[in-house]
Amino acid sequence: MPVHTNRGIRLPQNKEPAASRDVARLSRVERVTLPLSYGTEEIRPVCGLYETVMRGSPLTKPESQDELPLASSVTGVFSGTRVISHPLYGELDCAVIDVLAVEGDEEGKPANLDKLGPDKLLKIARDAGIIDELDGIPLHTKLSQWREEGCDFLVADGTQPEPYASSAWAVLNLSAERVQDGLKLAASCVGASGYHTAVFLSPERRRPLAQRLGEHRLFQVPNRYPVTQYARRYRTPLGKKRADALPMSARVCRIGVQACLALYRAAAYGKPHCGAVVTVAGDAVATPQNLYVPFGTPVQNLLDHCGLSQEPAYLILGDMMTGRAAESAELPVLPGMTCILALKVRPVTLTPTVCIGCGRCAKVCHAGLLPSEIVRRLENMHYERLAGLHPEDCDGCGACSYVCPSGREVALRVTEAAHAHGTIFLDWGEEDET
Ligand code: SF4
Ligand code: SF4
């Protein structure tokens, strides 16, 4: 992907007050809804109706090594199955578990991690059911791919979705050393020659973290959205000279800080990946906060815990720039969700109008695309002519939509164009030639 380091946008930061509050655990969860599979195949649960399942025990028995064994995030009673439609994952077959106990995080003596080879680490990541919060992809799938294709440098991405989420900060604040230990395991698994944790923090927050991890293990990204950390000038860790920067040809791969922590806990204590830290924020939330929740907990439970100053008009799973609107607060928290927003009004108030050709979308696009031109060709159904504009390089960051004065859903259309390109060509005349 082409990278233009001076592109992107500056966003207002709304991370306080959640970022400064301690991480809380949900005191009351009555029922969780957990996927039996994230794929399309039909998988039967291994437990019988009204059987008690222990926290961390498998709900399914995958038939292939590619499938992830999904475990119960709580101790409870299996009370049946249901199909849900989730904005992030589509239609999912799920197990419903009535909760008896949420806890179960006691840790004994950590295992010796020195002699864990790549195959063993891949097995640990798979058996623990770890899913990377950055993209919702199983960690063992990402590690196997990087091991095969090569990875020079591994980054624990402690930067955040924008502008509300602070769950990665909260995790680093609580467990930075363990995150780094997990990252080190992942780096040894894929054969990376180096690793560091990327953050965007104020000097007051960054200094203590640098002391805990070592300055050369912490990396401050620029104050721009989205983070373009693959660029040469952003590859130099704190406390190092520019000459120590990675070469442009180096392949840098990213995993989330929560996935790093889950890998460490799985390797050291045999713990499965059962929950996540989620930021609950937005102007309809009375007490914005980071919460640790078991997977499968209904979003409504998180909103009840934090309180609402008024009934939200708009619920977003994820953050403002890339999150998806949710119809119902009964949807479960699933891996890959690190932020939930409850807002009083819809964030986009402009009624979309025609493109005025101002060029702002192209100016901010960090992938160097021409978003308005891509959208024009898509809308004119000139799919064949999309190929040269590389809509597949779009990562959906949403910066183009954010700056569009006409209120157009540019990012959404560019993503559509990535799937449409090359499938059909309808010639509507000369209009597109100019
Ligand atoms: S959403 Fe895609 S087209 Fe828009 S700015 Fe981001 S990368 Fe560029
Ligand atoms: S920012 Fe909006 S109005 Fe301006 S060129 Fe892009 S799509 Fe058109």
Coil vs helix vs strand at 225: strand
Looking at domain 30-101, its CATH architecture is: Beta Barrel (2.40)
pLDDT at 382: 86
User: Per-residue pLDDT averaged across 240-249, rounded?
Assistant: 62
Q: Quickly state the pLDDT bin for 63 (edges 50, 70, 90).
A: confident
The pLDDT score that the predictor gives to residue 325 is 85
Give the type of residue at 394. Answer: C
277 Rama class: left (phi>0) / alpha (psi -120 to 50) / beta: beta
Kindly state if the Cβ of 393 falls inside 6 Å of ligand 1: no
pLDDT at 428: 41
Over 60: is that where the pLDDT of 240 sits? no
Most trustworthy range by pLDDT among 185-194, 220-229, 233-242: 185-194
Q: Residue 339's beta-bridge partner residues? A: 279
What's residue 234's pLDDT? 45
pLDDT of 431 > 70? The answer is no
Over 90: is that where the pLDDT of 298 sits?
yes
Around Cβ 203, how many Cβ atoms within 10 Å?
A: 8
Ligand 1, atom 2, residue with closest C-alpha: 394
**Closest CA to ligand 2's atom 3:** 355
Confidence grade of residue 219 (pLDDT, cut at 50, 70, 90): confident
> pLDDT by residue (tens digit) across 359-398?
999 988 988 899 999 999 999 888 888 888 999 989 888 8
Tell me which residue has its CA closest to atom 8 in ligand 1.
Answer: 365
Q: Give the distance from CA 394 to its chain's centroid.
A: 16
48-58 mean pLDDT: 92
Give residue 413 CA to ligand 2 midpoint distance, Å: 12
Is residue 351 over pLDDT 60? yes
pLDDT digits (tens, 9 = 90+) for 99-114: 998 776 667 788 888 8
Chain mean pLDDT for the chain: 85
For residue 249, name the pLDDT band (cuts at 50, 70, 90).
confident
Q: Is the peptide bond before 391 cis (omega within 30 degrees of 0)?
A: no
Q: What is the pLDDT of residue 244?
A: 57
Number of Cβ within 10 Å of residue 34's Cβ equals 26
Smallest CA-to-CA distance from 209 within 257, 254, 176, 170 is with 176
Identity of the highest mean pLDDT range in 41-45, 109-113, 260-264: 260-264
What percent of the chain clears pLDDT 90, i.e. is strictly above it?
50
Tell me whether domains 30-101 and 118-269 share a fold.
Answer: no
| For residues 2-29, average pLDDT | 78
User: Would you say residue 173 has pLDDT above 90?
Assistant: yes
Is residue 408 in contact with ligand 2, taking CB distance under 6 Å? Answer: yes
pLDDT of residue 241: 54
Residue located nearest, by CA, to atom 4 of ligand 2: 358
Q: Judge if the beta carbon of residue 413 lies within 6 A of ligand 2.
A: no
Instruction: Return the amino acid letter for 246.
Output: L
Please compute the mean of the pLDDT values over residues 416-426 and round it to a whole number.
Answer: 65
Instruction: Give 280 Cα–ligand 1 centroid separation in angstroms.
Output: 26
Q: Which two tokens stand for residue 416?
A: 């559509």
pLDDT band at 135 (very low <50, low <70, confident <90, very high): confident
For residue 350, what are its two tokens? 């402009």
Separation of 385 CA from ligand 2 center, angstroms?
19
Please identify which residue in the block is written with the tokens 């930021």: 279
Q: How far apart are CA 186 and CA 153, in angstroms?
A: 11
- pLDDT (mean) for 292-302: 96
Q: What is the mean pLDDT of residues 15-26?
A: 91
Q: Whose CA is nearest to atom 7 of ligand 2?
A: 372
Q: What's the distance, Cα to Cα, between the start and end of the chain in Å?
A: 27
- CB of 275 within 6 A of ligand 1: the answer is no
Closest CA to 319 of 344, 297, 342: 342
Contact indicator for 189, 121 with CB cutoff of 8 Å: yes
Average pLDDT over every residue of 123-128: 94
Nearest ligand 1 atom to the CA of 411 is 1
Residue 118: what are its φ and ψ, rounded to 5°? -55, -45
Q: Cα(355) to centroid of ligand 2, in Å?
A: 5
Tell me the two tokens of residue 209: 């973290």
Tokens of 367: 């992938």
Sequential DSSP letters for 329-343: TTSBP-TT--EEEEE
Fold of the 118-269 domain: Rossmann fold (3.40.50)
Lowest mean pLDDT among 7-16, 130-139, 157-166: 7-16
More reliable by pLDDT, 6 or 270: 270
Q: C-alpha angle with apex 296: 294 to 302, nearest 5 degrees?
A: 70
How far, in Å, is the centroid of ligand 2 from the Cα of 354? 8
Look-up of token digits 């299996």? 78
Q: Where are the domains of the chain?
A: 30-101, 118-269, 360-433
In short, whether 406's Cβ falls inside 6 Å of ligand 2 is yes
